[in-house]
Homo-oligomer: A and B are copies of this chain.
Amino acid sequence: MTKMIDVANFAGVSTATVSRVLANDPKVKEKTKQKVLKAVDELNYIPNSLARNFRKRSSKNILVVVPTIANPLYPTIISGIQSVAREHNYQVILGDISRNFETELAYLELIRDKAADGVILLAAELPTEEFIEAIKGLPVVLGYRNTVKEENLHSTEDKRGENKRINIFPTVNINNVKSVECVIDHLVQLGHKKIAFFNGPKNSIVSIDRLKGYKQGLVKNGCSFEPELIYYGDWTMNAGYELALELLQSGNDPTAIFTVNDETAVGAIKALKENGLRIPEDIAIVGFDNIELAKFVDPPLTTIAQPKFEFGVHAMELLLKVMNGETISQENIVLESHLIIRESCGSKIKGD
Contacts and interface: CB of A to CB of B under 8 A. Distances in A.
Nearest to A241: B296
A345 interface: no
A57 interface: yes
Number of copies: 2
Interface string A251-284: 0000000000000001101100100000000000
Contacts of A72: 70, 72
A94 B82 contact: yes
A57 B48 CA distance: 9
A84 interface: no
A94 B112 contact: no
Contact of A113 (B49, B69, B293): B49
A51 B54 contact: yes
A91 B93 CA distance: 7
B82 A76 contact: no
A237 interface: yes
Contacts of A60: 115
A114 B296 contact: no
A75 B82 contact: no
Contacts of A349: none
Interface of A: 46-51, 53-54, 57-61, 69-70, 72, 75-76, 78-79, 82, 91-94, 96, 98, 109-110, 112-115, 237, 241, 266-267, 269-270, 273, 292-293, 295-298
